[in-house]
A and B are shown apart, each in its own frame.
Chain A
Amino acid sequence: MDALEILFTASFWVAAIRIASPLIFATMGELICERAGVLNLGIEGIMTAGAFAGWFTVYAGGDLWTGVLVAALAGAMFGLLHATLTVPLGLSQHVVGIGVTLLATSLTYFTYRLALPEVTSPPKIEPFQPLPIPGLSKNPVVGEALFTQTPLTYLAFLTVAVVAWVLYRTPVGLAVRAAGENPSAVEAQGISVTGIRIGAVMVGSALMAIGGAFLTMSAFNSFFFEMINGRGWICIALVVFGSWRPGKALVGAILFAAFDAYQVRLQQMSGGIVPYQVFLMMPYALSILALILVARRATYPKALMIPYQKGER
């Protein structure tokens, strides 16, 4: 098969959308945090925790949606920790974020070992199954790619719409955006900046954790170490790539996933002449290029990474 023909096959796009799904959840989560003015570098660890929490709930006998809920709660708790340190206490968002990532990751591995001391190969669960949407899934390429996914992928797309609606069409979204642009303006209206920011970080972190859970409950069927593998960091770049807009960030996530799916297929085609690491590198190199081209002129939230203390100006 020709290298270009791959781009027109349904199976390629099915894979791309699947790879994009966890990125979409986590990117929306990060976007909410940053729109409120908080950079959440805990994302990598929160995704790890979510991946484990969701999977373990199902492994212990819970139902799949309960697993998603538990993952979201675990994420929200780490979000609360992050927000407590960065919002009312105003600590460095970089240091706290990296700390939360290290803590969440280690705590997850520790819990895994405590809960499953004996296992040698990761135990499996019955994950979400593809749910073709009647009528739509039969359309060639586009229909197949979009409408033969698992319910969690549909939820990812729904999340983008909801986040966009909330941010731009509701009073609370207005307050979130204003908290990231000029917190004094929010405080001057008698709305608590602290409350808005803590809430945004908790909701955002819950979405990150669902992104992690997608990997163990939809893309794969078990939890293993290092499985997040830098996806969280990619989401931080995707938020910038998307200029802090949900729709654009969605496009970015799908583009990145498409590159990722493409490089796997190129690897198979090249037959070992080119070292496979070159292909692995490709999506990351391209995302750096895309950032250079797209994000240089982006207007970022003005109060991003600036702690707000009441009464100071």
Chain B
Amino acid sequence: MAASTVLRLSGITKRFGPLVANDAISFELERGEVIALLGENGAGKTTLMNILFGHYVADEGTVEAFGKPLPPGDPRAALDAGIGMVHQHFTLADNMTVLENIALGTQSLWRARLDRSAARQRIAQLSTDFGLAVDPAATVSTLSVGERQRVEILKALYRDARVLILDEPTAVLTPAETDALFRTLKLLVAKGLSIIFISHKLNEVMAVSDRVLVLRSGRLAGERETKSTDRKQLAALMVGQEVKPAEVSQVQVGAPLLMLDRVSTARHNGAGLDEVSLTLSAGEITGLAGVSGNGQAALAALIAGTRRPTGGRISVAGHAVGDWSPRAALGHGIARIPEDRHAVATIGDMSVTENVIAERYGSTRFSRMGFLDWKAARAFAEEIIADYDVKCPSPEARIRLLSGGNMQKLILGRALDPEPAVILASQPTRGLDVGAVAYVHRMLLAARERGAAVLLISEDLEEILALSDRIVVMSKGRLSPPSARGERTIRELGELMAGHGGEGQAA
């Protein structure tokens, strides 16, 4: 082991039943180096880090930190060895202060008194040293997402971390916040820390790393020096084949199908809508960008019918609608692909058949005089399974057992089957692998060609740019004026997302 090697994983293998999540993975991390761990969802990145962190015990293989073996299954050991982790979902207690969150677990539990002033001094010192400004007395719930991430990094530094692992750190950040994070990482490396950067975004991997390790189906598919590789090569390594981007054809824009006229709503998972006007027209995909929590959830709930407007008007195909409800929305031909597949779109413990008729079980197609027609329902489920190439044991299987991609295909089939006029697609590809993403994109484009109006709500700017004919940006419950395909750059969109260039606030 070279003197500058800080971390060495040798032959890590982890099985969950028949599934091999990690297959004999070995690599080394040097002092002052940034490794990117690249791979699709389910490639085994998170499992590997959980093993490193003692949350799981590996079936085979060893971890060495600074030349000493790390005992398996002990989270404390990794911390004590100077390894810090910033999880994708922050492990912060929202109702407690920054100081309390950072100090948690750093002083012996049985001390009679928590030494706040020492903690405050040390946080102030680290803040200046690493340019991570944050108020120790602030309650975490009042901080923006970017600030929360700074708290997480401070937490690791406070514990003398020499190795920092960041799991999908940019998923929740605005472009400006992402730039700030990258600057911080450069500073950390300059001070001798080593970083493992987990991501599935190629551009970020190229921007931040010295070396890229590509994981595919639990194995190390390749290792490249960042300077001597490119995005195309990495994408091919990650997926195992060439990926063709979806082709966008010319489509004549038709009549407006759904119009919102100065609509406001109450708060819903973040900001509510504030006098939002939006027109969705036939044959057009409207992309809605924005940092999560700025009103996208409220807009999606409004269009889906689960929220009523507190002001303004909704009209469908030129007619103002009166009573607004999920049933009314479905009745007007609005199809929904909800943001949360598990909590909203499906009922996990019910069968595939029951789930695919969930929106339409009362229609004459699936019921006779109040009795369900199971034959028709099952036939419908089999039809979707065949048409959309869903991998599932049978229509009777509980939908919970399906993978995210297959679940999404079923939801897509259910939504698109009645040839809806309007399609509301909220984060339709979140958490899917590249193959499934391409499939979802093709289906949305096909619906557009057929003359449907599509609203695509996504936090993935590249997805928005690739598919949308028109882009609007949501910030603090308000919409920006629309821009045509190619009219605004990523940077301009980013500034709109942050509320005109300021610090992004995801309250």
Interface of A toward B, CB cutoff 8 Å: 169-175, 177-178, 181-182, 184-191, 299, 301-302, 310-311, 313
Contact = CB atoms under 8 A, between A and B. Distances in A.
Nearest to A180: B93
A175 B55 contact: no
Nearest to B50: A311
Given A299-B95, A311-B50, A188 B109 contact: no
A49 to B, nearest CB: 29
From A178, A185, A191, A313, name the one whose CB has the most chain B CB atoms within 10 angstroms: A185
B94 A190 contact: no
Interface stretch (B97-105, B124-132, B221-229): B97-105
A309 to B, nearest CB: 12
A190 B106 CA distance: 10
Contact of A188 (B75, B94, B96, B110): B75
B108 interface: yes
Nearest to B111: A171
> Which secondary structure dominates where chain A touches chain B?
helix
B55 A182 contact: no
Contact of B76 (A182, A190, A311): A190
Given A190-B79, A311-B56, A171 B101 contact: no
Contacts of B95: 181, 299, 301-302
Contact of A182 (B56, B93, B108): B93
| Interface bin, chain B | 20 to 34
15 contacts: A173-B114, A178-B104, A181-B93, A184-B87, A184-B89, A184-B91, A186-B104, A188-B85, A188-B87, A190-B75, A191-B105, A301-B95, A311-B50, A311-B55, A311-B56
A169 to B, nearest CB: 6
Contact of B112 (A170, A189, A190): A170
> Which 3 pairs between the two chains have the least Cβ-Cβ distance?
A189-B105, A190-B76, A181-B93
Contacts of A171: 103, 105, 107-111, 114
Contacts of B74: 190
Given A170-B111, A170-B113, A311-B56, A189 B104 contact: yes
Given A177-B93, A177-B96, A310-B55, A185 B104 contact: yes
B92 interface: yes
A45 B19 CA distance: 47
B114 A170 contact: yes
Nearest to B159: A189
A3 B110 CA distance: 51
Nearest to B55: A311
Interface of B: 50, 55-56, 74-76, 79, 85, 87, 89, 91-96, 100-101, 103-114
From A169, A175, A178, A188, name the one whose CB has the most chain B CB atoms within 10 angstroms: A188
A182 B94 contact: yes
A182 B114 contact: no
A176 to B, nearest CB: 10
Given A182-B91, A310-B55, A313-B89, A175 B105 contact: yes
Contacts of B87: 184, 188
Given A169-B113, A172-B109, A185 B101 contact: yes
B127 to A, nearest CB: 20
B176 to A, nearest CB: 27
A186 B100 CA distance: 12
A6 B109 CA distance: 48
A185 B75 CA distance: 12
Contacts of B50: 311
Contacts of B93: 177-178, 181-182, 185, 302
B110 to A, nearest CB: 7
Nearest to A189: B105
B105 A181 contact: no
A182 B155 CA distance: 15
A54 B113 CA distance: 32
B104 A187 contact: no
Nearest to A311: B55
Contacts of A310: 55
A184 B88 CA distance: 12
A175 B104 contact: yes
Contact of B114 (A174, A187, A299): A174
Given A175-B105, A301-B95, 20 more contacts: A169-B113, A169-B114, A171-B109, A171-B114, A174-B103, A174-B114, A177-B100, A178-B100, A181-B93, A182-B91, A184-B89, A185-B104, A186-B104, A189-B104, A190-B105, A191-B104, A191-B109, A310-B55, A311-B55, A313-B89
Contacts of B103: 171, 174
Contacts of A311: 50, 55-56
B246 to A, nearest CB: 32
A171 B107 CA distance: 6
